[in-house]
Structure 1
Amino acid sequence: MPFNASTTPFIHPTPFTDPAFADAMAVRIEVFVKEQGVPEENEKDEFDQGSMHWVVYASIPRVSPPSSSSSQRKDRHAIDGTTSASELSQNRTPVGTIRLIPPPVSKKPYVLLGRLAVLKPFRTLGLGKLLVQEALRYAEAEGSAGRFDSPSEGIKWDGKCYIHAQTSAHGWWARNGFYLDDAEEWDEEGIPHVGMWRDIVLERRRGSIMI
């Protein structure tokens, strides 16, 4: 599927209950199951339900053969990248996703990012970076408001984010601000992984939960 100057990316945050979650799973299955060989039954886990997911869509205008002067004008707009918002919304295709597991869900004192996947034809466009940035912005806002704290379990999130990075992608994560932990490499679904961290500076707002 081509991605060019006429294509507009659109990132949509979605909880597990949103129909858009199916689009996130479609991307994950394409990348992790079909491309990397992860068993499909292992791709969806118990953390999906309590997590926040983002899906990036490619809005690809549909160009049809001209049949009248009006349709010629419409097709010209599609080629020029000036298709109306309503037309674009009808042609969005999910091409990438990421997942954020909050501390109250994982029962860990850190945010866990993962399931970052972008379809192969779209991997040179910076969509992975955009997804990470969106997830981190959300984490900063939620954390600053105290919504990632769990007083009943003694969890107060201090801004640490953790990822299970595929070893082959370690350099990419490092370029996006993550640093290696001191744990050894491990195998996950037959793929070598390393742990990496990134710290978010939180500004605790008045009224946030204190532990």
Structure 2
Amino acid sequence: MTVREEVFVKEQNIPLENELDEDDARSFHWTAYASIPTKAISPELQAQNNDANGDGQSSHSRKVSNSTKIPVGTIRLVPPPHPPHPTPGSHHQADALDVDGNGRKDSTTIHDGREAYIKIGRLAVIPEFRKAGISKLLIETALTFAKDNPYEMMPQRDPSKIEAMRVESDGGVGVDWKGLVLVHAQVGVQKVWKRYGFEYDEAMGTWDEEGIDHVGMWKRVDVEPGRRKSRPFSISSPPLMAT
């Protein structure tokens, strides 16, 4: 969470208690690390690295090395279910939507209000690395993981209940994830998401999260067919390395 605190809490003034939410525990997370010469680390980055290690010591002080590994970017993937979409013009805390909306038809220009979707978010890169391709690395990694593991995107249920739900839901709408991805994009970085194929949803309009205007953007990825693996995935995926 070091990168998120650095970007969202310190830089964008979002309260820490609002930045960390209930979705974190059920989400998939990725962190990008950079290996840089120890002598080149600024005091700010060194302090951040100490916090990430959790013991007040830098990785350099524990092991003699000419470089230090620091966290520079992060992203998360939130699987279904999700609360209803934000109301255009509304004001609320980050992702603090009423979750008591199951079964409510909540259609938009792109989403029919029923199809299961995943949500990509909390994309953050520290200022010193924002022109190093870290966002691209994180977005592509999360999307690739999702499309290669579609059955891991849905909550685990009894197989017989899943089949019954498919029969009752027009071939699996809302039961199976078929590649639909949503982001709640800050207006200021809307172009970044568009660059990776996300389309603005006009019907979702603009709403305010923590004083920052957001819009809804969607993308559909081709999912790989297959069956759920018997061994469940950890919600925390291996870290990425950016050198």
Do they superpose with TM above 0.5? Answer: yes
Closer, same or farther: CA 115–27 of 1 in aligned 2, 3 Å = same
Look up the match of 1:27.
3
Per the TM alignment, residue 42 of structure 1 is displaced from its structure 2 partner at its CA by 0.5
Query: Contact 1:104/1:148 (CA < 8 Å) preserved in 2?
Result: no
TM-score (norm 2): 0.60
**In the TM superposition, what whole-angstrom CA distance separates every residue of 1:57-115 from its partner, at most 9, and x where no partner exists?**
11113359xxxxxxxxxxxxxxxxxxxxx947x72100100000112587881110000
Q: What residue in structure 2 maps to residue 132 of structure 1?
A: 139
Residue 27 of structure 2 corresponds to: 51
1:38 aligns with 2:14: yes
Kindly provide the CA deviation profile for residues 26-65 of structure 1, in whole angstroms up to 9, marking residues without a partner as x: 100110011011111111100001111111111113359x
Amino acid at match of 1:167: V
**Superposition CA RMSD, Å:** 2.5
C-alpha displacement of 1:204: 1.4
Q: Work out the percentage of aligned pairs sharing the same amino acid.
A: 45
* Matched residue type, 2:182: Y
The corresponding residue for 1:118 is 125
2:216 pairs with 1:198: no
Q: Pick from 202, 209, 225 the counterpart of residue 188 of structure 1.
A: 209
Structure 1 runs (4+) deviating above 6 angstroms are: 105-108
Amino acid at match of 1:135: A
Q: 1:51–1:105: 8 Å Cα contact kept in structure 2?
A: no
Alignment CA distance shift 1:105-1:142 (3 Å): farther
Correspondence for 1:171: 191
Is 1:95 matched up with 2:72? yes
Contact in 2 for aligned 1:95/1:119 (Cα 8 Å):
yes
For residues 149 and 55 of structure 1, the distance between their equivalents in structure 2, rounded to whole angstroms, comes to: 22
Q: Distance in 2 between matches of 1:149 and 1:33?
A: 30
Matches within 5 A, 1:56-95: 56-62=32-38, 87=65, 91-95=68-72
Which ranges of structure 1 fall in alignment gaps of 5 or more residues? 1-24, 65-85
CA contact 1:47–1:105 (8 Å) conserved in 2: no
Q: What's the secondary structure of 1:128's corresponding residue?
A: helix
2-side partners of 1:46 and 1:188: how far apart? 16
User: C-alpha separation between the residues in 2 aligned to 1:104 and 1:208?
Assistant: 18
